[in-house]
Chains A and B, each alone.
Chain A
């Protein structure tokens, strides 16, 4: 190869250890490992849930027991032992918090290390953070301000108690419990998550944000997020993840449901940086997430994701375009390094007339990782004049990594216009040569090219998040890229 320097640089990349690998020492209240009806009853009673919620969980559990773990993704991993996982762990501290000062100083330190100090967030960025640590919501800020507008933004357990009507109407309406293996598991054992409701005609004045963090060793994280945007409302929702270093694999099986009623708009952005495992692929998080939104008439759902972490990712944020003139968007950057594996993409299901969808997916594979795009564009007979544009590009950084594309296109309406393009290539040596000629060193040159390559997606992120996303992109490929 013409650039020996690059190999060296790539070695540095693989040598880079996980920066956020620290553990918070907080006593936690933990259920014994294993999964049975008893555990589900325990979770439900710990959370002081009403009977209907328990029934719903038990039904999901019954369905899950009959299901098989899918093996169609282009992934290779040792299937987790679901009986060895602890399904409930909550920080013991239980008293109500009046102000930030009441928060456990250990936990606050953790947040500061993550760069999401609540005070700072409050003052500078105007972001309301619903901070989830090991499944229980500890601090919810800006709640009052949102309350004035009628916006509900709270933890799922609180919502179950205080807004049962909304929860019973929408929970499981987009991702039914029997949708897939992981969604059924999640429905049975989810411990917390976020709920957000934007009333009619309200434009949420700030970006809503949730941080997830797997903390307790050997625990799984099963969040449930539900965002309902009532008619003509708007919300931008951010989700970010970092996890501390652990040797055994940790399971993350979340479900996210979005409901955009007539003329509403939801923008959902994710930066995912769970612990990816070490250079040999030991440890790391299994990220098996079901994300789906339903669009009613003239509404819009936009998914943006920057995926840099997790040992194994299985994730397809999707849109069901049910209403006429609804719009679905999916923007994704997925970076895999070392032994990471990602099988990610989207589904756009067109049911309504004049529905539009756009898919932009950028994959970057380094080390000996494998990065797959798997997508479905389905135009049903009722979807007259549906339109889809898909673009999937892959960038290969090493000759040991892989990039794969599995797009499914199913069209049952003759008025549909569907376009799909995909390319796979490596960074052009002529591009690097051009930069070198102009005094830009190789490391910067690669960084420049990768940033330009991912720009289309990064531009979709809200300002506050774009900075963090770029930071994560750099960490993931540091030494050579970013």
Chain B
């Protein structure tokens, strides 16, 4: 099969926790090499969606179709680095788990350190790194096994504005080199617009897809000042506001 024909296909997905529906009738598709930002009110099931795509949580109904040869990687909200492993060992872990040899691991880690701009820090433990550096390592660890689909759950939420912007640029640069698909769950409208080829706004209770935007600004690192960027942000913002109010009205009723 041609790689470009491959895509992630989510159809009529639903999730129920106890007797409460979190997600219902959610459908979307994502082509190989494309990216999707998922944005929505807190607790609307964005993280659950990622975790279902990653295969960590089962869906209640509907289906998620991934090409069988796709490798996925997941970056968790709080980095998920192992405090007992230094930067080098954290980065090398996915390769070690898949049985790669020592010399191959060494080469891949050295390349990754260069790509992340973290040379010289490889012997440090996570506790000796700043938040931004830790998130770099988490991104590196997710990318080192060359995934076809990268899942990110608010990866930059804990960072200050400047570091956040640097890492968004880094992620875009990495995407431009590797062209993996990625899905980014975020609370931040600007981030969703900067990093999403498509933007999905979720809302309602149970949550479902409220808006799907084909984002023309994606892929241009200097788009942050453009009018198009602001107009997409406006659209997302309005949809988000609507989604928030629909949730609260329903909850009050």
B is a partner of A: no
